[in-house]
Structure 1
Amino acid sequence: MAAPWRSLRLVAPIWNRSTRGIHHLGGAVDPESNQKRRTMLQHLSDYFYDVEFLRGYLFQNEMDKVHQKNRSFAHLEETYGPNNAGAFFILKQGGAVKFRDKEWIRPDKYGHFSQEFWNFSEVPVEAVDASGCAINYEGLENLHHLKDLQSLLLQRCPHVDDWCLSRLYPLADSLQELSLAGCPHVSERGLGCLHHLQNLRWLDISDLPSVSDPGLTQILVEEMLPNCNVVGVNLAEGLELGPEEQPRDTDRPVPA
């Protein structure tokens, strides 16, 4: 019986040390350490709240600037006519305009542009290049009275969306060229609104990330606008051919 008792005495000190360790871990937490932990959590909470607040503030500030840029220039239209008012709106946006039989008018890198166009009140605007401009749904109203506008380039405009395309119908009688290339918020639904523009002869719908099936969309737009040359999309993109539609050797032209 001596051996078991001897082994028990050998184990007891180890057990006591581990027990003391367990009691130490389960004991009261140092108030100062707990206070530091709460302070850090509060700091992180305040930090992320401030970041979200700052992000929201900057976004709202940017939207306010966009709305300010797209305000109505109806007061100028009454004084200088619709062509000058529409041209001034586009030039202030950083775009370019072309009056009939005149050279393009574009702002320089500082946003300055020739004031000569104020003398063209009786000359119609026939082309507008608003590529990359912050034009939106409200701003398009400034173009509604350009009754001779033939070409409108809206490529890479960050705020042009489906609602904007639904507002192009007042230009249906004259508009022949339209570019929507690179507009991130234009989808199939917006392209369907272009059925009003039956005088279109050229339409660029390339690089539209919100269009889920570019190839099929181009086919549908071509059916909707039969007299228009729709460009910018690979017809095979997004279309999967079945076995019966795969090209056969007999369908290939025989070399001369």
Structure 2
Amino acid sequence: MSCLKKSLRQVHRLSNGLFACQRKGYSEEKPKKPSFGSFGNLRLEPEFTGNMPDDEKTQFTAINKLLNFIEADFSLSSMRNYARHMINLEEIKSQTLDDDTKNRLGVDLAAAQMVLQVGGRVQFAGVDRWIERKGNSSSLPNYRVPDLRLQVVDFTNTKIIYEGLKSLEGTSIKMLILKNCENIDDFCLSRLYLFSDTLEFLDISGCSLVTDNGLGALYKLKNLKYVRMNDLPNAGNKSSVANLLLNENPNLVVLSEDLHLDEYISESSPKEQDRSVSEDLSAPDSSKQPQRQTQTHSEKS
């Protein structure tokens, strides 16, 4: 079949890489019959590629589409790989934030909504409770909240990928939990320098794709205080990497046992709770925003 396809592409092939084909008539008049030894009304088109526009104006376009379909691999493994590819595309789309969402909600709130969408949970500065998705409803407001700072993100047992981590860029995150995340690899760890100014706690336990190379990239996190890297089957020299990290960051503590997250959050959180932020998060309904503005206007009058 591939030989037939190649022969069809080389019909009337010219020296400059183009081939000539019969133009398809579009008028009601019958096209004139070409004389012997001529090609009639010629149309020059480039050799067919995957990016060729499907204008359906030539017979060669339709023939190549048919041959591509016939030559496609419809085996079980190929179909499985195709389905996995489409799922990955959907995950990338769902974990990528556009500029309109960031401008409308703010970077911290837009990132928090993405975390909840993939099955994670968050905490904000000044709010002493976990916020997570319950069913199909989100417990976050759908409007911009002033002075809202994302502080803790927990992606435990989720399918977070690099695009989701990149969506956290611009936030003031201090604690990042990636426990048992099957898609976190060395490349993801190498890009955590995006949070080097604020990140203080990192948990990558149970990330089976992480190797010693990914652990070595954590030296870029100069403000990191605690790191937990238990149960990493592909990291065989954790002790050597830990010594390297300690040489680069003497204040770093490599945890071998679980640290109570509530204790760490209470120590790193502001002592005084922001009342306005807490009220906005406790009333996630977007319809309450204009009511709050109306009340303020009546008080001023």
Give the TM-score band, short-chain normalised: 0.5 to 0.7
For residue 90 of structure 2, what is the aligned residue in structure 1?
Answer: 65
Instruction: Name stretches of at least 5 consecutive residues in structure 2 with no aligned partner.
Output: 1-72, 258-301
How large is the RMSD of aligned CA atoms in angstroms? 2.1
Q: Which amino acid aligns with 2:254?
A: V
Tell me which residue corresponds to 2:167. 142
Stretch moving more, 122-131 or 222-231: 222-231
Alignment partner of 1:122 is 2:141: no
Helix, strand or coil at the partner of 2:254: strand
Q: Distance in 2 between matches of 1:232 and 1:181?
A: 10
Q: Deviations over 1:104-155 (max 9, x none)?
A: 21112x2432134746342211111111222212222211110x21111111
User: Hey, what's the Cα distance between the residues in 2 that align with 1:62 and 1:227?
Assistant: 41
Query: Which amino acid is 2:94 matched to?
Result: K
Identify the residue that residue 220 of structure 2 maps to in structure 1: 196
- Is the contact between residue 80 and residue 121 of structure 1 (CA under 8 Å) also seen in structure 2? no
Q: Deviation string for 1:14-42 (max 9, x for gaps)?
A: xxxxxxxxxxxxxxxxxxxxxxxxxxxxx
CA contact (8 A) 2:225 2:253 kept: yes
Could you tell me how far 1:49 is from its partner in structure 2?
Answer: 6.5
- Counterpart residue number, 2:236: 212
Between the aligned partners of 1:160 and 1:123, the Cα distance in structure 2 is 28
CA distance, structure 1, for counterparts of residue 193 and residue 142 of structure 2: 26
- Considering fraction of residues, name the structure with more helix: 1
What is the SS of the residue equivalent to 2:176? strand
Structure-1 separation of matches of 2:182 and 2:113: 20
CA distance in 1, matches of 2:157, 2:118: 9
Match of 2:126 in 1: 101
Amino acid at match of 1:171: F
Secondary structure in 2 matching 1:115: coil
Structure 2 match to 1:74: 99
Equivalent position SS for 1:200: coil
Cα distance change of structure 1 residues 80 and 202 upon mapping to structure 2, 3 Å threshold: same
SS at match of 2:167: helix
* Greater relative contact order structure (CA < 8 Å, 6+ sep): 2
- Contact 2:104 2:144 survives alignment (8 Å): no
Q: Which runs of 4+ in 1 moved over 4 A?
A: none
1:1-256 → structure 2 map (5 Å cutoff)? 50-102=75-127, 103-108=129-134, 110-116=135-141, 118=143, 120-146=145-171, 148-232=172-256
Distance 2:114 2:159 in 1: 11
For residue 123 of structure 2, give the secondary structure of its aligned residue in structure 1: strand
Deviation for aligned residue 1:193: 1.6
TM-score (norm 2): 0.56
2: CA distance between counterparts of 1:76 and 1:49?
39
Per-residue CA distance 1:47-75 (angstroms, 9 max, x = gap): x9732223223322332232222222332
8 Å CA contact 1:105–1:113 kept in 2: the answer is no
Distance 1:118 1:130 in 2: 24
Q: Which moved more, 1:115-124 or 1:82-91?
A: 115-124
Query: Cα 1:128–1:79, aligned 2, differ >3 Å: closer, same or farther?
Result: same
Residue 98 of structure 1: CA displacement?
0.6
Cα shift at 1:89: 1.1
